[in-house]
């Protein structure tokens, strides 16, 4: 996990429409940067839909929401359309941001051990500094927890 008070690593990744997006594009705004394992899985869908449902509240606070997973641009496009997700989803198949943000970890699922993306959220301030982090995120309460933190 990256330390609070450190500069958030910049990245350049493709969004659901194939456009390149950089974290540095959002300087001057707070950013909720959340990492999740996979599109269209139960937990990830709950988490994304909760962010989608409360997106207006984030926008009212001048906060941008960005979700990142290893899924392809095409997968993100289908996921966003299926659930009417209004925020940015970024594709990181080469794990550039995933590894830079230290969310590529050993995981146990169904008795098997393997590497994968752990669910974690970072709040990055207007100057690109990590302000807050939430490890071991609960998908259904993540968005509400962040809104409460933001006040």
> Which residues belong to the active site?
44
CA neighbor of 123 nearest in space, from 19, 36, 5: 5
Q: How far is 114 from 105, CA to CA, in rounded Å?
A: 8
Task: Name, in order, each residue with C-beta under 8 angstroms of 2's C-beta and a sequence gap of 6 or more.
Answer: 8, 9, 101, 102, 122, 130, 133
**Alpha helix positions (H), 15-95:** 42-53, 55-60, 73-83
């Amino acid at each position: 996990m990256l330390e609070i008070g450190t500069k958030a690593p910049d990245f350049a990744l493709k969004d659901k429409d194939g456009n390149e997006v950089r974290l540095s594009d959002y300087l001057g705004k707070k950013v909720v940067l959340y990492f999740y394992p996979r599109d269209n899985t139960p937990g990830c869908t709950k988490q994304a839909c909760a962010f989608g449902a409360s997106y207006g509240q984030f926008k009212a606070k001048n906060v941008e929401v960005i979700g990142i997973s290893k899924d392809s641009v095409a997968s993100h496009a289908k996921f966003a359309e299926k659930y009417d997700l209004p925020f940015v989803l970024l594709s990181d198949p080469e794990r550039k941001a995933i590894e830079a943000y230290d969310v590529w970890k050993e995981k146990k699922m169904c008795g098997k051990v393997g590497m994968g993306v752990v669910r974690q959220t970072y709040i990055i301030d207007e100057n690109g500094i990590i302000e807050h982090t939430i490890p071991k995120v609960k998908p259904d309460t993540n968005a509400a927890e962040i809104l409460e933190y933001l006040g």
